[in-house]
């Protein structure tokens, strides 16, 4: 097994260390901030808080050269010193609070992280690691670092697997996360009338075979697939042919994680990781899950 990349480890140490602080800040930050993000979406106070905290924490990590966020128009240059292993400075891309509209309804949301060894916009093949924090009944973090996928539970306090003075206790609950062989759940975003006919026909087949698990936050819905096997999609829509999810901040990291677990991803015709972006805020239709279900999707859309 490859030696862990010290910069990648330091990035996820910083993400884990901020998680309890972000979680504690959510109750007081359910209101709109009065601003929009570069994708034209309403930004909540929770989005702004998480973005600023993570920008500070990740910008301080040696080996991180630039910080890019779904909430910011451009990358910001930070530090940039090469990592301890002599590797070049990485670009860290985040969705600071994915599913923040679930704040009002008190449902799951999280933070998505992608570590690229190329300046953005970059393809998913430039990822060296990816992960997500999920704020559910408990706080968990899933990390794919090139040598497998692990799941951690993160709590306030010291001890566990975490660094004693980081103020968090981290416990690895699975150090070799793989997709279950038998799929059981599905979750599809967007409105049924807006789905292309071929996707709607595919969805009808899937609905007859599996249980619906859709909560409106990609990290929560993908974690259902990661846990129980199945397929998640936010497809192309009639009024949004590129779908809703952002390639750099959501689709690439999630595709990297699911493919690292033995699953598959697709933009409808090829792996998400092969999508060539024009800009850092490009959107892309995202489909991830068990390979057989993604293959069936691509056949249905190619029909
Ligand atoms: P918010 O961050 O605005 O809540 O959007 C979340 C998201 O980008 C992604 O996490 C979900 O999968 C998707 O949007 C849900 O979109 P719908 O509200 O259209 O179902």
Residues 242-279 have pLDDT tens digits of 999 999 999 999 999 999 999 999 999 999 999 999 99
Q: Specify the residue for token string 């800009």.
A: 279
Q: Residue 50: CB within 6 Å of ligand 1?
A: no
pTM assigned to the model: 0.95
Atom 15 of ligand 1 has which residue's CA nearest to it?
Answer: 216
Mutation probe of ligand 1 site: the residue of 50, 100, 216, 255 with most atoms within 8 A of C-beta: 216
Average pLDDT over residues 77-95: 76
The dihedrals phi and psi of 280, each to the nearest 5 degrees, come to -75, -15
Q: Residue 99: CB within 6 Å of ligand 1?
A: yes
pLDDT, residue 162, reads 47
Consecutive H or E run containing 165: none
Instruction: Please report, in angstroms and rounded to a whole number, the separation of the first and last CA atoms in the chain.
Output: 41
Residue whose C-alpha is closest to residue 226's, from 301, 302, 134: 134
Q: Residue 37: CB within 6 Å of ligand 1?
A: no
Q: Specify the residue for token string 């704040």.
A: 103
Atom 18 of ligand 1 has which residue's CA nearest to it?
Answer: 216
**Residue 260, annotated as binding a ligand:** no
Q: Residue 216: CB within 6 Å of ligand 1?
A: yes
Q: Residue 68: CB within 6 Å of ligand 1?
A: no
Q: How much of the chain exceeds pLDDT 90, in percent? A: 85
CA 298 to CA 65: how far, in whole Å? Answer: 37
Cα 159 to averaged position of ligand 1 atoms, centre (Å): 35
Instruction: Name beta bridge partners: 261.
Output: none
CA 149 to CA 102: how far, in whole Å? Answer: 26
3-state SS class at 294: helix
CA distance to 19, 207, 265, per residue, from 194 (Å): 36, 17, 22
Q: Which domains does the chain have, with CATH numbers?
A: 6-174 (3.30.540.10), 185-302 (3.40.190.80)
User: Which tokens sit at 3?
Assistant: 């030696």
Q: pLDDT tens, 63-80? A: 999 999 999 999 999 976
3-state SS class at 119: coil
Work out the mean pLDDT of the chain and round it to a whole number: 93
Ligand 1 atom closest to 47 (CA)? 2
Q: Residue 244: CB within 6 Å of ligand 1?
A: yes
Q: pLDDT tens, 151-173? A: 999 999 865 454 445 589 999 99
Q: Residue 282: CB within 6 Å of ligand 1?
A: no
Cα 216 to averaged position of ligand 1 atoms, centre (Å): 5
**Residue 291, annotated as binding a ligand:** no
Average pLDDT over residues 222-239: 98
Mutation probe of ligand 1 site: the residue of 42, 101, 239, 249 with most atoms within 8 A of C-beta: 101
pLDDT, residue 80, reads 66
**Residue 298, annotated as binding a ligand:** no
Q: Residue 218: CB within 6 Å of ligand 1?
A: yes
* Residues with Cβ within 8 Å of residue 109, at least 6 apart in sequence: 97, 98, 99, 100, 102, 103, 135, 217, 219, 220
Consecutive H or E run containing 98: strand 90-98
Neighbouring CB atoms inside 10 A of 2's CB total 8
């Amino acid at each position: 097994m490859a030696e862990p990349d010290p910069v990648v480890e330091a990035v996820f140490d910083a993400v884990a260390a901020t998680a309890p602080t972000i979680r504690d800040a959510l109750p007081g930050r359910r209101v709109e901030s009065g601003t929009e993000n570069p994708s034209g979406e309403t930004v909540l106070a929770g989005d702004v808080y998480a973005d600023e905290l993570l920008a500070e924490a990740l910008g301080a990590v040696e080996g991180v050269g630039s910080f890019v966020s779904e909430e910011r128009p451009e990358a910001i240059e930070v530090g940039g010193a090469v990592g301890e292993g002599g590797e070049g400075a990485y670009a860290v891309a985040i969705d600071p609070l994915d599913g923040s509209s679930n704040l009002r309804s008190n449902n799951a949301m999280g933070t998505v992280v992608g570590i690229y060894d190329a300046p953005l916009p970059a393809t998913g093949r430039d990822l060296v690691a990816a992960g997500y924090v999920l704020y559910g009944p408990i706080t968990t973090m899933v990390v794919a670092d090139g040598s497998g996928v692990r799941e951690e539970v993160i709590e306030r306090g010291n001890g566990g697997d975490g660094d004693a003075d980081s103020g968090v206790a981290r416990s690895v609950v699975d150090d070799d996360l793989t997709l279950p062989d038998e799929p059981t759940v599905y979750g599809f975003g967007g409105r049924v009338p807006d789905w292309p006919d071929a996707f709607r026909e595919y969805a009808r087949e899937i609905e007859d075979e599996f249980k619906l698990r859709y909560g409106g936050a990609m990290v929560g819905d993908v974690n259902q697939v990661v846990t129980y096997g199945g397929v998640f999609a936010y497809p192309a829509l009639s009024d949004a042919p590129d779908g809703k999810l952002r390639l750099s901040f959501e689709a690439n990291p999630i595709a990297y994680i699911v493919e690292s677990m033995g699953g598959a991803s697709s933009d409808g015709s090829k792996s998400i990781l092969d999508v060539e972006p024009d800009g850092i805020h490009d959107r892309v239709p995202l489909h991830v899950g068990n390979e057989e279900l993604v293959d069936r999707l691509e056949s249905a859309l190619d029909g």
